[in-house]
Amino acid sequence: MARDNATEWLAAPRIGRILALLGLLSLPHMLQMPPWASAAVLLIGAWRLWIARRGLRLPPLLLRLLLAGALATALALHYGSFNGLEAGMALLVAMTAMKALETRSRRDCRLLIYLGFLLLLGQVLRSQDMPWLVWMLLGVVLNLAVLIDLQHPQALLPMRGNLRRAGLLALKAIPLALVFFVLFPRIPGPLWGLPQEGSGRTGLSDSMEPGNVSQLAQSDAVAFRVRFDGPAPPNRELYWRGPVLSRFDGIRWDPLPDEGGLPVPALQTSGPLIDYEIQLEAHGRKYLLALDMPLAPLPAQTYLNADYVLKSRQPVMDARLLPLRASTRWELAADAPRWQLGNYRRMPSGINPQTQALAATWAAESADSEAFVDRVLRHFRQQPYRYTLEPPRLTGRHRIDQFLFETRAGFCEHYAAAFVVLMRFVGLPARVVTGYQGSEPNGDYHIVRQSDAHAWAEVWIEGRGWMRVDPTAAIAPERIEYGLGAALGDSALLPGLARGYERRRDLAARLLLQWDRLDAAWNRTVLAFGPSLQRDFLRRFGVNELRDMLYALVAAIALVGLLLAAQVTWAHRRKPEADPLRAIRERLLRRAGIELPPAQRGPRQIEAALREAGLWDADSERLLAHYTRLRYARREPADPELLRGLRRALRAWPARRRPPRAPGG
């Protein structure tokens, strides 16, 4: 291929900078793409760099169209469509690579930089955690630095100077960004993100099968954070209520539908009330997590359903700060109607015959319902059952029989499900409750991790109502008192930050907890700044209505604009002309220890003085010649790079005083 004269200005170092930048910004997306698509993007980038280094022509239009069509078709077949974040970002990365393959002008390069900004925005749509904030700021500065470089097509500018200018530009944008953040009217929904349904960070599902919770517990990621107004309750009382599962088909547990309009049961509490604030992440579902049991007043746009689960009117698509009140000592639905309790007695027919026979035997031996509950828990406590993250796999229709009589090893969901089935076989209303149990103190707040995911049971007792029963406490009481690490010790599947309080002595664990404090502050002040928090904040300054908010926004934008205009005017005000060459000349004379009258400081007078002082040699001659060329050059002002070279030469000049030669010597 012949050399392409149209792209001579786009030298290999310049295109290399642009491709390196786009590769860096595409990396998080390529890690989510299918391997073949990431490999294709990397090969296209390498091909473009090879063309630039060899000075070859770009591939013909027909070849580029065929390649772009093949990539788009393959991605469409892989994802099924281009709807959704993952498919859309994969297409953007692929087409950005194809655009690099047809880059032949400065305009094309600018377009690549603008695509780089879109790649940054795409990562923010995936996650708004603190590490990605740092990534976004770094990417913005790098994009601006390369964009600045494109304004000087004659030669590459030093990258250090580009980064300094780009950083200053980004800093100047911060005041305007803060104005829009505080005053721009919020709408319900995520600040930037597009959470996908069912991809929440809390990790809890609306249903449960054996193994669901144990898989979730193998992560030490943060599920949510809590701040108590006073002292935190003991760990054994921290049950965070999530979905309640009552419908059972023999394998899977599901919640009752909310559409039935069942009344919310009456709740009676005893003991102190607990006020706290939960920092909840987006999870795309309607359930909320609350300390068992939640009390009025409830946050706006929330309600309690018939299973006493706190729910949102709309799916939780943004981070939220929920002020809540709870009591850990309660009686629920002591007067529940019997027709309603039938929902919690239903069992599929023809399953788990051994369990059914065992329940009938224990019921005949028990004086009342509470004695039957105690008999079941005593069985779990006395028989060789194991609490483990690696339970044997259960198969077939009679899985409760298999667990109770054969494997006898399981996680919390196995014991809760078996307990509820035993209760229902003797006609006692019972249900599974999923959520989290326990917390980890970290400064002035508590962390609830995915490894704290838990399942327990509730059984309805005549005269008392719903009563919480946690079969896990009978198998592994240390799990309830001290957490998962205390119950499982050094299990290979147990995540590092869930191994117990002894991990606090590890430097890595302490650093991660400190980082979590920063992440919590970011989530609290930025990600959770939704419509309600914005209204509460602006009311402190007398801004109560949407109209007032818009007036304040316009006024703030005008003020920031005036300040920026004043700054630009001040920066470009007429200043006395500084003469850098004069400063260099004076420094030369000081280093030589020479004093000359102001009118006698020309190059010839300086040369004569240096000769008289015994300092004239080849280095002095080159230094003075360099100064003379710049002083009497036609270009004004002197080239900055040449000035820097003169200063370096002056610093390296060995100004050693030598004895003058004797006359005639």
Q: Is 659 exposed, middle or buried (0-12, 13-18, 19+ CB in 10 A)?
A: exposed
Whose tokens are 């600040």? That residue is 191
Does residue 136 sit within a domain?
yes
Q: What is the pLDDT of residue 489?
A: 67
| pLDDT band, residue 335 (cuts 50/70/90) | confident
| Side-chain-side CA neighbours of residue 536 (13 Å) | 8
Q: What is the pLDDT of residues 66-90, one digit of tens each?
A: 999 999 999 999 998 888 888 999 9
Q: What is the pLDDT of residue 424?
A: 96
Distant-in-sequence, close-in-space partners of 614: CB < 8 Å, separation ≥ 6? 657, 658, 659, 660, 661
Contact 432, 417 (CB under 8 A): yes
Query: Is the domain of 143 the same as that of 240?
Result: no
Is the pLDDT at 501 greater than 80, yes or no? Answer: no
d(CA 310, CA 295) in angstroms, rounded, equals 10
Whose tokens are 């760099």? That residue is 49
Is the pLDDT at 641 greater than 70, yes or no? Answer: yes
Does residue 279 sit within a domain?
yes
Q: What is the pLDDT of residue 1?
A: 41
40: nearest Cα among 98, 81, 79, 88: 98
Q: What is the pLDDT of residue 337?
A: 83
Q: What is the pLDDT of residue 492?
A: 55
Whose tokens are 């309607």? That residue is 286
Q: What is the pLDDT of residue 234?
A: 93
Q: What is the pLDDT of residue 327?
A: 93
Does residue 196 sit within a domain?
no
- DSSP code per residue over 444-502: TEEEEEGGGEEEEEEEEETTTEEEEE-HHHHH-HHHHHH-HHHHHTT-TTS-GGGS-GG
Does residue 532 sit within a domain?
no
Query: Is the domain of 492 the same as that of 614?
Result: no
Buried b (16+ CB within 10 A) or exposed e, 98-114: bbbbebeeeeebeebbe
Query: Is the domain of 292 the same as that of 396?
Result: yes
Q: Is 436 helix (H, G, I), strand (E, B) or coil?
A: strand
- DSSP code per residue over 418-435: HHHHHHHHTT--EEEEEE
Q: 43: domain range?
A: 5-151
- Measured over the CA atoms of residue 326, residue 329, residue 334 and residue 340, the dihedral's sign is positive
Query: Is the domain of 122 the same as that of 227?
Result: no
Q: Cα-atom radius of gyration of the chain, to the nearest Å?
A: 36
Query: Is the domain of 121 the same as that of 216?
Result: no
Q: What is the pLDDT of residue 47?
A: 93
- pTM metric for this prediction: 0.70
> Of residues 412, 414, 452, 519, which has the active-site annotation?
412
Is the pLDDT at 336 greater than 50, yes or no? Answer: yes
48: nearest Cα among 93, 12, 5, 4: 12
Query: Last residue of a domain, which of 457, 472, 505?
Result: 505
Distant-in-sequence, close-in-space partners of 88: CB < 8 Å, separation ≥ 6? 82, 122
Contact 88, 82 (CB under 8 A): yes
Q: Is 295 helix (H, G, I), strand (E, B) or coil?
A: strand
Angle between helices 603-612 and 580-592 (to 10 degrees): 10
Q: What is the pLDDT of residue 124?
A: 79
| Token pair in block for residue 218 | 């193998």
Query: Is the domain of 457 the same as that of 590?
Result: no
516 classed as catalytic: no
Whose tokens are 């904040």? That residue is 537
| pLDDT band, residue 432 (cuts 50/70/90) | very high
Does residue 548 sit within a domain?
no
Q: What is the pLDDT of residue 187?
A: 59
Percent of the chain at pLDDT above 90?
38
Is the pLDDT at 422 greater than 90, yes or no? Answer: yes
Query: Is the domain of 126 the same as that of 254?
Result: no
Contact 429, 465 (CB under 8 A): no
Whose tokens are 């603008």? That residue is 114
More confident position, 222 or 187: 222
Is the pLDDT at 200 greater than 50, yes or no? Answer: no
Does residue 561 sit within a domain?
no
Q: Is 579 helix (H, G, I), strand (E, B) or coil?
A: coil
109 classed as catalytic: no
Q: What is the pLDDT of residues 42-67, one digit of tens each?
A: 999 999 999 988 888 899 999 999 99
Residues paired with residue 276 on neighbouring β-strands, in sequence order? 228, 324
Q: What is the pLDDT of residue 493?
A: 64
Query: Last residue of a domain, which of 505, 529, 558?
Result: 505
The torsion angle over the Cα atoms of residues 289, 291, 296 and 300, rounded to 10 degrees, is -20
Is the pLDDT at 663 greater than 50, yes or no? Answer: no
> Of residues 318, 401, 470, 516, which has the active-site annotation?
470
Q: What is the pLDDT of residue 665?
A: 40
Report the Cα 574 to chain-centroid distance in Å. 47
185-199, 388-402, 577-591: least confidently modelled range = 185-199
Does residue 562 sit within a domain?
no
Asked if omega into 297 is within 30° of 0 (cis), the reply is yes
d(CA 647, CA 269) in angstroms, rounded, equals 81
d(CA 664, CA 353) in angstroms, rounded, equals 126
d(CA 633, CA 283) in angstroms, rounded, equals 68
| pLDDT band, residue 555 (cuts 50/70/90) | confident
Does residue 161 sit within a domain?
no
Q: What is the pLDDT of residue 423?
A: 96
Is the pLDDT at 23 greater than 90, yes or no? Answer: yes
| pLDDT band, residue 3 (cuts 50/70/90) | very low
Q: What is the pLDDT of residues 362-386, one digit of tens each?
A: 999 999 999 999 999 999 999 999 9
Contact 136, 520 (CB under 8 A): no
Whose tokens are 């000349």? That residue is 585
Contact 407, 424 (CB under 8 A): no
SS (H, E, C) 173-239: HHHHHHHHHHHCCCCCCCCCCCCCCCCCCCCCCCCECCCHHHHHCCCCCEEEEEEECCCCCCHHHCE
> Of residues 292, 307, 454, 516, which has the active-site annotation?
454
Query: Is the domain of 22 the same as that of 121?
Result: yes
Total domains present in the chain: 3
Query: Last residue of a domain, which of 151, 180, 198?
Result: 151
Query: Is the domain of 232 the same as that of 319?
Result: yes
47-51, 438-442, 591-595: least confidently modelled range = 591-595
Q: What is the pLDDT of residue 196?
A: 45
520: nearest Cα among 132, 226, 285, 229: 226
Q: Is 167 helix (H, G, I), strand (E, B) or coil?
A: helix
Strands 222-228 and 274-280: antiparallel
Q: What is the pLDDT of residue 9?
A: 54
More confident position, 52 or 129: 52
Whose tokens are 């928090």? That residue is 533
Q: What is the pLDDT of residues 350-362, one digit of tens each?
A: 999 999 999 999 9
Is the pLDDT at 260 greater than 60, yes or no? Answer: no
Mean pLDDT of the chain: 84
| pLDDT band, residue 577 (cuts 50/70/90) | low
Q: Is 280 helix (H, G, I), strand (E, B) or coil?
A: strand
Q: What is the pLDDT of residue 188?
A: 56
Query: Is the domain of 221 the same as that of 333?
Result: yes
Query: Is the domain of 92 the same as that of 17?
Result: yes
Query: Is the domain of 256 the same as that of 360?
Result: yes
Q: What is the pLDDT of residue 193?
A: 46
Q: What is the pLDDT of residues 304-323, one digit of tens each?
A: 998 999 998 888 877 788 99
Q: Is 244 helix (H, G, I), strand (E, B) or coil?
A: strand
d(CA 337, CA 265) in angstroms, rounded, equals 10
Is the pLDDT at 622 greater than 90, yes or no? Answer: no
Q: What is the pLDDT of residue 662?
A: 47
Q: Tell me how far CA of residue 382 lies from CA of 376, 420, 426, 476, 597, in angstroms.
A: 10, 19, 22, 12, 106
| pLDDT band, residue 199 (cuts 50/70/90) | very low
d(CA 478, CA 483) in angstroms, rounded, equals 7
Is the pLDDT at 272 greater than 90, yes or no? Answer: no
Is the pLDDT at 114 greater than 80, yes or no? Answer: yes
Q: What is the pLDDT of residues 519-547, one digit of tens each?
A: 888 877 777 776 767 777 777 777 777 67
| Side-chain-side CA neighbours of residue 142 (13 Å) | 20
Residues paired with residue 169 on neighbouring β-strands, in sequence order? none
Q: What is the pLDDT of residues 5-14, one digit of tens each?
A: 444 456 788 8
